[in-house]
């Protein structure tokens, strides 16, 4: 099946620094990827849609200057948390849709393993 690789799995940083998280589709091309944030024992909240070749679209309430998204190629999207603060500490997960045909198959998402960000 399709594999999405997310790196790093865990990062600890000081307040004020920037952190980059990578999301790669390993055996398929993904013109669109999604970035989610998840708080402990909570559901996933969609942050933004990463679009290859164009700007990312952000969900309401998500600061685009805080969470920079770059879809550099058909297999790579990056999320940069700029000037991180303790309140940015969270679990960040990326996903890419199934590349198969058919309206239902395209809705199936393949997820990265997530990145645990801790800002001190």
Would you tell me which residues interact with another protein (CB under 8 A)? 4, 6, 32, 34, 41-44, 46, 49, 91, 93, 95, 97, 103-104, 106-114, 116
CB of 5 to another protein, least distance (A): 10
Query: Closest distance between another protein and the C-beta of residue 75, in Å?
Result: 16
Q: Based on CB atoms, which residue is closest to another protein, 82 or 111?
A: 111
In whole angstroms, the minimum distance from the beta carbon of 13 to another protein comes to 18
Output 46 or 72, the one with its CB closest to another protein.
46
SS (H, E, C) the chain: CCCEEEECCEEEECCCCCEEEEEEECCCCCCEEEEEEECCCCCEEEEEEEECCCCCEECCCCCCCCEEEEEEECCEEEEEECCCCHHHCEEEEEEEECCCCCCCHHHCEEECCCEEEEEC
């Amino acid at each position: 099946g399709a594999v999405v690789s997310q790196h790093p799995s865990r990062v600890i940083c000081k307040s004020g620094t920037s952190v980059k998280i990578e999301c790669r589709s390993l055996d398929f091309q993904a013109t669109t990827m999604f970035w989610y944030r998840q708080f402990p024992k909570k559901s996933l909240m969609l942050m933004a849609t990463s679009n290859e070749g164009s700007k990312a679209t952000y969900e309401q309430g998500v600061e685009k200057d805080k969470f920079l998204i770059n879809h550099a190629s058909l297999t790579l999207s990056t999320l940069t948390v700029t000037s991180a603060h303790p309140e940015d500490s969270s679990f960040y997960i990326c996903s890419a849709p199934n590349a198969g045909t058919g309206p239902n198959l395209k809705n199936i998402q393949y997820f990265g393993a997530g990145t645990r960000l801790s800002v001190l």
